[in-house]
DNA sequence: TCCCTATTCATGA
DNA sequence: TGGAATCATGAATAGGGA
């Protein structure tokens, strides 16, 4: 067959590649070419390139797949085949019964669209081989160029080898979009719900149109060639139009002869499907001076194949009769069917299947060798079945942006690019009003190897800062993985998916409820939360989700409430990677995170995910020790840093130390072990906590070493502790403290699941570390600056405020103070209820308590309750009160659930 | 053990 | 010298929970 023919002319490796990079003459206008000559040129031009090597690799992988498939085929018994055949027959009968021939589906495809537009606008190009694109890549080519083997998706430099006279015109998408809009206007008259596939392609269901058409008088089916009023091309003279249109594809198999007669002024179209489609194409041509091809059939699959049949400037119809459909399919090469690409084609060819008739005959075998969805699809194809319902208004599932560039090795450049991509993506998302939860980073290295890395946040986001907060961590992780070698990239992309539905869009902020959900403590939320808090803290104008929402406070949306299993969903990537590292480095483990000299720390997400120290932590610790001297007393946490704000070049030495914040009393504890910390929280929960003095118990030895190694380090930590008492520090920059809750056992908690509560250096300023039990007003000084800033900027200032929880008027006008007070009130209320329903039972290490402790750690969530209440006035609306009460139920539920887990 | 979900990669338009 | 961008989907895989 084709492959065999190609392979015979070349070396084995070249033959291997032919199905991938050699000429694909599947396209219209590519018939009867000197394929061997063209392939030789393509191979010679490609050979030795990184691209070629990668294609070779991929081809070998496909070959392995085929080998495995053939082995499986060899193992197939007659009995299995018999059984499979029975199943196939059964399904076939069902499909036959449900075969629908009643719809009239049309697939319209503009001929060589971009090239045709350029030729129309620059008539000198008409007789020349030309393509649209660049030396790097061509989007499409005209039919002159196709004679040389120049096709879409071919690099311009290779096309030039094939056709030295090729004229390459740069793309002008604005122009194509404008033309496309004109064409779509016409489509909509035949099917208002037509489905555009791209700028130059669409499916229409003209069934209803045809019904109406039967009652139309001839005048409604008459179009005048020169009637500028009817057709929107008044700007062109008649002679121009006559000259332009037919010449583009003069050798078209079915160029409408009726149109070329110079004396013909009016065209009357009939009532049949063919006539309606001919009319549509006529109108397209009149309006745009471009030609289109069309396929008419009872379903989409057939219509698509048909539109290619008489390309260019032609149409083909399969009538709605089973027998005709089957006859049409019989000799149709499988590759012509949409969805069958080069790999599937090759795999089927290995089984001796080239056309759809053979496909049908081998269904039993295919059902044993391919997945269910694959062989079901094959069965549909072999029966000439396809979708009869044009899917309308299908929801977008992802949005992405990516860029290819010359080799890029510099990390700072890469971060900068990453940010640019996030910026673009954020703009696109906001344009469509979308917010998504999963950020995927796509990387292609200089060897053309593609990697994707994803991270799912707890909340849907859409701002540059928020997206970048996740993307940069993913990028850092990849950079660190190859360190000290540079990451050599040629493409980077950022994708957003996991869009929330329209309903879910309203509550952008999750309440404390969400954090109290079992399993809802996934660290993604903390990354997210931290990133957002910090981002907004610095950028008060940012329209992040922490900005006051005008929507009503309500329960978390279904999607957001849905408990993440806390497993691979949130952790798989980082955890898996981290665990691998962990195995190599267990002996070096300590709870303490280390120093990050770049402030771009994948550790952030990594630590958030698993709380495992990483290689980077370790190495960074060493590398940054000296730097930390110059930045004494500054705490930072990798996941609370603000990469979204800091430029890659903005290097800061930040030392991350283990600070744990009691979520109940807000006491800061440094260098505590987890058991002690947990005990402390238990005491707090039981109401018997002592004065919130920091607990300072034995830190792991490694940690001590880490802390003491740099001359300044140990003293620094003391400085830091003492500085926490310093009120001036408090004034300097309030900070957010976030505890990452993770279930743990005391035995191995040292490296498995430590609590983390990190402090971040913000703008080089010291974070606040509160040590004493704070009054509400004192405590408020440590609340999120973000909210204060946000509210100040968006709301009134000056008037006295009343706490919506305790209803006490607050003497302060400082929103930060006020916020803090409300935070405390809310926490108190929840905790009191919790205490009431769960009196102390002796075992202070009850897992549920531990989890609750952790769950309560993020005060940012609670703050949103306050934010809203403040905007609405001084008292909580009923819904909010209910909400607070229901928090207790959530805790109960959580408690029970956790207890069950333990069992 | 089975089911569900997230992630990664491949395929195809 | 140089080999795209965007979107959807399926398979394989892995881990958590019931």
A62 CA → B12 C1’, Å = 15
| pLDDT of res. A32 | 74
Q: Could you identify the residue whose CA is nearest to the C1' atom of nucleotide C3?
A: A155
**Which residues have C-beta within 8 Å of that of residue A853, sequence separation ≥ 6?**
A662, A663, A664, A678, A681, A682, A685, A739, A741
| pLDDT of res. A788 | 24
Asked if the structure places residue A133 within a domain, the reply is: no
**Paired strand residues for A292:** A110
Tell me, yes or no, whether A250 and A363 share the same domain. no
Tell me, yes or no, whether A57 and A184 share the same domain. no
| pLDDT of res. A234 | 35
A358 CA → C4 C1’, Å = 35
A59 CA → B9 C1’, Å = 15
**Paired strand residues for A661:** A668
Q: Is there contact between A454 and strand B, defined as CB under 7 Å from any strand atom?
A: yes
Q: Is there contact between A339 and strand B, defined as CB under 7 Å from any strand atom?
A: yes
Q: Does A485 score more than 70 pLDDT?
A: yes
pLDDT class of A120 with cuts at 50, 70, 90? very high
Tell me, yes or no, whether A374 and A404 share the same domain. no
For the record, the structure tokens of A267 come out as 């065209």
Q: Is there contact between A122 and strand B, defined as CB under 7 Å from any strand atom?
A: no
Task: Identify the weakest region by mean pLDDT among A248-262, A290-304, A382-396, A476-490.
Answer: A248-262
Range of the domain at A355: 322-382
Q: Which residue has the tokens 């620094």?
A: A716
Q: Is there contact between A344 and strand B, defined as CB under 7 Å from any strand atom?
A: yes
* pLDDT per residue as tens digits for the range A396-412: 999 999 999 999 999 99
pLDDT class of A265 with cuts at 50, 70, 90? confident
Asked if the structure places residue A540 within a domain, the reply is: yes
Nucleotide nearest to A570 (CA to C1'): B6
pLDDT class of A17 with cuts at 50, 70, 90? confident
Rg (CA), chain A: 33
Nucleotide nearest to A496 (CA to C1'): C7
Contacts within 8 Å (CB) and 24+ apart, A569-572: A569/A456, A569/A522, A570/A456, A570/A522, A570/A523, A570/A524, A570/A609, A571/A522, A571/A523, A571/A609, A571/A610
A495 CA → C12 C1’, Å = 22
Q: Is there contact between A340 and strand B, defined as CB under 7 Å from any strand atom?
A: yes
Nucleotide nearest to A343 (CA to C1'): B11
Q: Is there contact between A569 and strand B, defined as CB under 7 Å from any strand atom?
A: yes
pLDDT class of A391 with cuts at 50, 70, 90? confident
A791 CA → C10 C1’, Å = 47
Contact in structure between A248 and A111 (CB atoms under 8 Å): yes
**Which residues have C-beta within 8 Å of that of residue A39, sequence separation ≥ 6?**
A6, A9, A10, A18, A22, A23
| pLDDT of res. A513 | 28
Tell me, yes or no, whether A329 and A287 share the same domain. no
| pLDDT of res. A201 | 97
Q: Does A459 score more than 80 pLDDT?
A: yes
Q: Which residue has the tokens 């505890």?
A: A739
Q: Which residue has the tokens 């094959």?
A: A378
| pLDDT of res. A589 | 28
Which 8-state DSSP code applies to residue A126? G
Asked if the structure places residue A275 within a domain, the reply is: yes
Compute CA distances A543 → A409, A470, A537, A549, whole Å: 33, 17, 11, 10
Tell me, yes or no, whether A274 and A358 share the same domain. no
Q: Does A443 score more than 90 pLDDT?
A: yes
Which residues 41-80 in chain A have a CB closer than 7 A to strand B? 58, 61-62, 65
* pLDDT per residue as tens digits for the range A666-697: 555 544 444 455 555 555 554 433 333 332 32
Asked if the structure places residue A778 within a domain, the reply is: no
| pLDDT of res. A125 | 96
| pLDDT of res. A796 | 30
pLDDT class of A51 with cuts at 50, 70, 90? very high
Percent of chain A predicted with pLDDT > 90: 46
A569 CA → B6 C1’, Å = 4
Rounded to an integer, the average pLDDT of A13-31 is 71
Residues, chain A, total? 903
Q: Could you identify the residue whose CA is nearest to the C1' atom of nucleotide B4?
A: A565
pLDDT class of A850 with cuts at 50, 70, 90? very low
A6 CA → B10 C1’, Å = 24
pLDDT class of A34 with cuts at 50, 70, 90? confident
Q: Is there contact between A197 and strand B, defined as CB under 7 Å from any strand atom?
A: yes
| pLDDT of res. A19 | 81
CATH number of the domain within which A272 lies: 3.30.70.270
What is the C-alpha to C-alpha distance for residues A342 and A6, in angstroms, rounded to an integer? 14
* pLDDT per residue as tens digits for the range A734-790: 222 222 222 222 332 322 222 222 222 222 222 222 222 233 333 333 222 222 222
A567 CA → C14 C1’, Å = 10
Q: Does A154 score more than 90 pLDDT?
A: yes
Asked if the structure places residue A547 within a domain, the reply is: yes
Rounded to an integer, the average pLDDT of A454-474 is 96
Q: Could you identify the residue whose CA is nearest to the C1' atom of nucleotide C5?
A: A402
Compute CA distances A205 → A105, A209, A221, A303, A371, whole Å: 5, 8, 19, 10, 31
Tell me, yes or no, whether A408 and A313 share the same domain. no
| pLDDT of res. A225 | 86
Give the residue with greater pLDDT, A502 vs A638.
A502
* pLDDT per residue as tens digits for the range A289-310: 999 999 999 999 999 999 999 9
pLDDT class of A802 with cuts at 50, 70, 90? low
Compute CA distances A681 → A147, A666, A677, A781, A852, whole Å: 77, 10, 6, 22, 10
* pLDDT per residue as tens digits for the range A194-239: 999 999 999 999 999 999 999 999 999 999 986 443 334 434 333 3
pLDDT class of A35 with cuts at 50, 70, 90? confident
Which residues 129-158 in chain A have a CB closer than 7 A to strand B? none
Tell me, yes or no, whether A378 and A415 share the same domain. no
Q: Could you identify the residue whose CA is nearest to the C1' atom of nucleotide B5?
A: A569
Contacts within 8 Å (CB) and 24+ apart, A224-229: A224/A265, A224/A266, A224/A267, A225/A259, A225/A264, A225/A265, A225/A266, A225/A267, A225/A286, A226/A265
Give the residue with greater pLDDT, A578 vs A661.
A661
Nucleotide nearest to A198 (CA to C1'): B13
Give the residue with greater pLDDT, A342 vs A673.
A342
Nucleic acid strand C: bases within 7 A of protein CB: 1-12, 14-18
A342 CA → B11 C1’, Å = 9
Q: Does A471 score more than 80 pLDDT?
A: yes
Q: Is there contact between A451 and strand B, defined as CB under 7 Å from any strand atom?
A: yes
* Residue at which a domain ends, from A317, A334, A368: A317
Nucleic acid strand B: bases within 7 A of protein CB: 4-13
Task: Identify the weakest region by mean pLDDT among A49-58, A96-105, A427-436, A749-758.
Answer: A749-758
CATH number of the domain within which A342 lies: 1.10.150.810
A371 CA → B10 C1’, Å = 15
* Residue at which a domain ends, from A572, A588, A604: A588
Tell me, yes or no, whether A529 and A570 share the same domain. yes
Q: Does A834 score more than 60 pLDDT?
A: no
What is the C-alpha to C-alpha distance for residues A714 and A447, in angstroms, rounded to an integer? 46
Tell me, yes or no, whether A306 and A353 share the same domain. no
Q: Does A12 score more than 50 pLDDT?
A: no
Tell me, yes or no, whether A305 and A177 share the same domain. yes
For the record, the structure tokens of A105 come out as 């589906």
SS3 of residue A49 by DSSP? coil
A25 CA → C5 C1’, Å = 23
Asked if the structure places residue A176 within a domain, the reply is: yes
The domain total for chain A is 4
Q: Could you identify the residue whose CA is nearest to the C1' atom of nucleotide C10?
A: A373
| pLDDT of res. A820 | 53
Which residues 318-337 in chain A have a CB closer than 7 A to strand B? 337
| pLDDT of res. A263 | 54
Asked if the structure places residue A366 within a domain, the reply is: yes
Nucleotide nearest to A201 (CA to C1'): B13
A398 CA → C8 C1’, Å = 9
CATH number of the domain within which A412 lies: 3.30.1490.100
Average of per-residue pLDDT values in chain A: 64
SS3 of residue A205 by DSSP? strand
| pLDDT of res. A544 | 27
Rounded to an integer, the average pLDDT of A379-391 is 95
Asked if the structure places residue A706 within a domain, the reply is: no
A454 CA → B8 C1’, Å = 9
Q: Does A7 score more than 70 pLDDT?
A: no
* Residue at which a domain ends, from A265, A283, A317: A317
A749 CA → B5 C1’, Å = 26
Nucleotide nearest to A51 (CA to C1'): C3
Q: Is there contact between A901 and strand B, defined as CB under 7 Å from any strand atom?
A: no
Tell me, yes or no, whether A510 and A535 share the same domain. yes
Q: Does A818 score more than 70 pLDDT?
A: no
Tell me, yes or no, whether A459 and A437 share the same domain. yes
């Amino acid at each position: 067959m084709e492959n065999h023919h190609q392979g015979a002319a070349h070396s084995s490796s070249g033959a291997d590649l032919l199905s991938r990079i050699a000429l694909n003459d599947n396209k219209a206008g590519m018939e009867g070419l000197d394929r061997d000559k063209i392939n030789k040129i393509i191979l010679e031009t490609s050979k030795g390139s990184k691209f070629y090597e990668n294609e070779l690799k991929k081809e070998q992988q496909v070959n392995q797949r085929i080998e495995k498939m053939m082995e499986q085929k060899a193992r197939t018994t007659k009995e299995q085949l018999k059984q499979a055949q029975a199943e196939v027959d059964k399904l076939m009968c069902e499909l036959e019964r449900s075969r629908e021939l009643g719809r009239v589906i049309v697939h319209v495809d503009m001929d060589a669209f971009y090239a045709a537009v350029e030729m129309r606008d620059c008539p000198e190009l008409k007789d020349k081989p030309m393509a649209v694109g660049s030396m790097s890549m061509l989007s499409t080519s005209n039919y002159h160029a196709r004679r040389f083997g120049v096709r879409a998706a071919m690099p311009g430099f290779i096309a030039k080898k094939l056709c030295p006279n090729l004229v390459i015109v740069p793309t002008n998408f604005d122009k194509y979009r404008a033309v496309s809009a004109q064409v779509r206007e016409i489509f909509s008259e035949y099917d208002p719900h037509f489905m555009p596939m791209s700028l130059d392609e669409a499916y229409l269901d003209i069934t209803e149109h045809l019904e109406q058409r039967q009652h139309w008088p001839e005048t409604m089916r008459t179009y005048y060639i020169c009637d500028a009023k009817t057709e929107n091309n008044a700007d062109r003279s008649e002679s121009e139009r006559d000259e332009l249109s037919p010449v583009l594809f003069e050798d078209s198999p079915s160029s409408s002869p009726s149109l070329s007669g110079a004396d013909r002024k009016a065209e009357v179209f009939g009532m049949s499907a063919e006539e309606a489609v001919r009319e549509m194409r006529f109108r397209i041509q009149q309006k745009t001076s471009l030609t289109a091809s069309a396929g008419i059939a009872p379903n989409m699959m057939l219509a698509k194949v048909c539109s290619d049949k008489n390309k260019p400037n032609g149409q083909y119809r399969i009538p709605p009769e089973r027998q005709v459909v089957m006859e049409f399919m019989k000799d149709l090469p499988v590759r012509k069917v949409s969805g069958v690409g080069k790999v599937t084609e090759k795999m089927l060819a290995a089984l001796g299947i080239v056309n759809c008739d053979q496909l049908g005959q081998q269904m039993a075998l295919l059902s044993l060798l391919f997945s269910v969805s694959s062989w079901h699809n094959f069965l549909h194809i072999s029966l000439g079945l396809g979708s009869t319902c044009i899917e309308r208004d299908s929801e977008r599932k992802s949005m992405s942006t990516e860029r290819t560039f010359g080799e890029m090795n510099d990390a700072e450049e890469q971060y900068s690019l990453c940010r640019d991509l996030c910026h673009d993506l954020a703009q696109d998302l906001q344009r469509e009003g979308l917010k998504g939860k999963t950020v995927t980073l796509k990387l292609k290295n200089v060897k053309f190897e593609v990697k994707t890395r994803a991270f799912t946040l707890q909340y849907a986001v859409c701002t540059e800062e928020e997206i970048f907060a996740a993307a940069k961590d993913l990028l850092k992780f990849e950079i660190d993985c190859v360190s000290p070698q540079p990451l050599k990239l040629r493409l980077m992309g950022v994708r957003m998916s996991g869009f929330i539905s329209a309903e879910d869009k309203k509550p952008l902020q999750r309440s404390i409820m969400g954090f109290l959900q079992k399993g809802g403590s996934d660290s993604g939320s903390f990354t997210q939360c931290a990133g957002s808090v910090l981002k907004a803290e610095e950028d008060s104008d940012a329209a992040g989700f922490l900005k006051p929402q005008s929507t009503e406070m309500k329960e978390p949306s279904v999607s957001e409430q849905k408990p993440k299993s806390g497993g691979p969903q949130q952790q798989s990537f980082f955890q898996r990677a981290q665990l691998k590292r962990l195995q190599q480095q267990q002996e070096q483990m300590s709870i303490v995170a280390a120093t990050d000299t770049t402030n771009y720390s994948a550790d952030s997400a990594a630590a958030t995910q698993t709380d495992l120290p990483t290689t980077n932590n370790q190495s960074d610790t060493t590398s940054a020790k000296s730097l930390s001297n110059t930045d004494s007393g500054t705490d930072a946490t990798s996941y609370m840093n603000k990469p979204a704000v800091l430029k890659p070049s903005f290097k800061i030495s930040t030392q991350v130390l283990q600070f744990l914040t009691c979520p109940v009393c807000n006491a800061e504890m440094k260098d505590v072990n987890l058991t002690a910390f947990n005990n402390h929280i238990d005491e707090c929960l039981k109401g018997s906590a002592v004065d919130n003095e920091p607990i300072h118990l034995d830190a792991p030895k490694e940690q001590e070493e880490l802390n003491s190694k740099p001359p300044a380090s140990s003293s620094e930590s003391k400085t830091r502790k003492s500085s926490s008492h310093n009120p001036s520090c408090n004034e300097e920059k309030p900070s957010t403290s976030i505890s990452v809750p993770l279930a743990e056992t005391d035995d191995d908690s040292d490296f498995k699941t430590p609590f983390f509560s990190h402090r971040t250096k913000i703008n080089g300023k010291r974070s606040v570390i509160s040590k004493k039990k704070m009054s509400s007003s004192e405590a408020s000084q440590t609340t999120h600056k973000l909210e204060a800033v946000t509210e100040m900027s968006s709301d009134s200032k000056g008037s006295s405020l009343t706490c919506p929880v305790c209803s006490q008027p607050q003497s302060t006008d400082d929103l930060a103070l006020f916020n803090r007070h409300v935070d405390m009130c809310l926490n108190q209320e929840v905790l009191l209820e919790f205490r009431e329903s769960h009196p102390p039972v002796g075992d202070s290490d009850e897992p549920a308590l531990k989890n609750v402790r952790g769950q309560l750690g993020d005060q940012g969530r609670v703050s949103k309750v306050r934010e809203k209440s403040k905007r609405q006035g001084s008292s909580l609306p009923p819904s909010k009160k209910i909400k607070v009460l229901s928090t207790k139920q959530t805790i109960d539920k959580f408690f029970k659930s956790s207890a069950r887990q333990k069992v």
